[in-house]
Chains A and B, each alone.
Chain A
């Protein structure tokens, strides 16, 4: 038996497990029907590999609803209603809906969590929000960087006002039970199964060592293919 043949066999046995991982994760990642990006991992050991750290909860009161943001979600009380990457600037309860101020926009959502509208600077927002409140007439007041604005009842027209000494509502401390519930949800809905499989496929799940091992297993696979063909052709 030639040295190459021996080396071919040892490489095959040595890289078997890694090549299996590479192939199985590759197969799964290729199956879009599985909707792996919509499933999340909740296993604490796996989550630990990502060093996610703390999930701070930021909350504002909107009448009897607590609007919170943690991880990549927006919550009404303990219900995740939408994905959102920006931090909260304020929130108020309107007659039927809730208006949430974000750094670049105002988000109007129903109390059931359905997004009704989002106002940006190009679609009617007069200035980037810094705070939000309702005045005694039930109209929305918006604090911008340079001025205070009052909206009409449809949030479609804004006029600058010169009212001073307004006490703008601050963020509230999230009640502890709610905070824990939100953090648990945010933590277990952060890393999708697709991301985890991709990281396993590339070896990144186990840092630099994993990456190197997976690269070597790919090299081993290439070597096996070439040496296999070579050994076979020599036998012929």
Chain B
């Protein structure tokens, strides 16, 4: 009995329900861009969120994006986007490369939440490979949830849809004479 109580006391001190909000930089945004465009380094362009794009983006985000102008980098039909979205409390910065209306690369760059950092792992990010937008701006790929990181997972799914939507806008603008 005495041993049992001692074990329980020890266990109770090991359980820590709190974890601090630490900023984890998995990949510097600049490094993400150099990896995405290894041969050339395109300048940042800016896409203004207005008109139909604004309406569609509101539907994807269920609200407005935190900024009105969004930077992007382009080389031919390939675009790169560095976007932010709050999972639960703090913004998560993610980088997307889109080519031919499909996601060719997705990385979690900076994670600031207290939980859900597992989303930076490859087993999660590779689920977005080749994802494209279906009808009603839905993501083509099934992305599995991570227990305890639901909000971060949802935030990344939303940003993926956003990157695809923004890419389509840029490409359609380029092709308009």
Contact = CB atoms under 8 A, between A and B. Distances in A.
Interface of A: 37, 108, 114-118, 120-124, 156, 198, 201-202, 204, 215-216, 218-219, 222-223, 226
A201 B17 contact: yes
Contacts, number: 54
B9 interface: yes
Given A117-B46, A122-B28, A219-B9, 17 more contacts: A115-B66, A115-B67, A116-B67, A116-B69, A117-B67, A117-B68, A120-B29, A121-B30, A122-B29, A122-B44, A123-B44, A123-B82, A124-B43, A156-B44, A202-B17, A219-B5, A222-B12
Contacts of B82: 122-123
Given A123-B44, A215-B13, A118 B67 contact: yes
B18 A198 contact: yes
Contacts of B71: 117, 123-124
A93 B120 CA distance: 39
A204 B67 contact: no
Contact of A156 (B33, B46, B66): B46
A204 B18 contact: yes
B12 A215 contact: yes
B89 interface: yes
B8 interface: yes
B88 interface: yes
15 contacts: A37-B88, A37-B89, A115-B66, A115-B68, A117-B68, A117-B69, A120-B29, A121-B30, A122-B28, A122-B30, A156-B46, A198-B18, A216-B12, A218-B15, A226-B4
Given A122-B29, A122-B33, A123-B82, A116 B68 contact: yes
